[in-house]
Structure 1
């Protein structure tokens, strides 16, 4: 299966998600947050750095739950602002 290349907007949205998760994680270690969410630290690192800009919904939901974020808030803050 060949994956369709991401648009610049999709990449930008993934970068915003990474920033939001990193800010919400704050002083907590990447390893502890990832473990609590049932993910590997490498998966979390890829999401936070934008190298995995389109993580699965269940992955985002698990991270949001661990970090005390609502999915609605994440969606709102990751939406593209069209001028």
Structure 2
């Protein structure tokens, strides 16, 4: 099975996800958060820097729990255009 290259929009979404996770981590040590989430510090470093723009769902769930941030909030960072459109439709 051949994996298609990521689109620029997917790469940018990964950067937003990484930024949101980095902000949620705040002053907490990267290694501490990675251990709490059950992932390697290098994996967390790659996600936060945008070098791993499409982490596995289980990894995102583990990070959301370790950081006390909801999956919905992370999803809002991942697809802000969809969130904005939904808000416009709801009003």
Question: TM (normalized to structure 2)?
Answer: 0.85
Tell me the equivalent position of 1:56: 56
The question of 1:22 aligning with 2:18 is answered no
Contact preservation (8 Å) 2:64, 2:71 = yes
Tell me which structure has the larger Cα radius of gyration.
Answer: 2
Which is richer in helix?
A: 2
Tell me the equivalent position of 2:77: 77
Give unmatched runs, 5+ long, in structure 2.
Answer: 83-91
Give unmatched runs, 5+ long, in structure 1.
Answer: none
Over aligned residue pairs, what C-alpha RMSD do you find?
A: 1.2
User: Which ranges of 4 or more aligned residues in structure 1 deviate by more than 2 Å?
Assistant: none
Aligned pairs, how many? 82
Question: TM (normalized to structure 1)?
Answer: 0.93
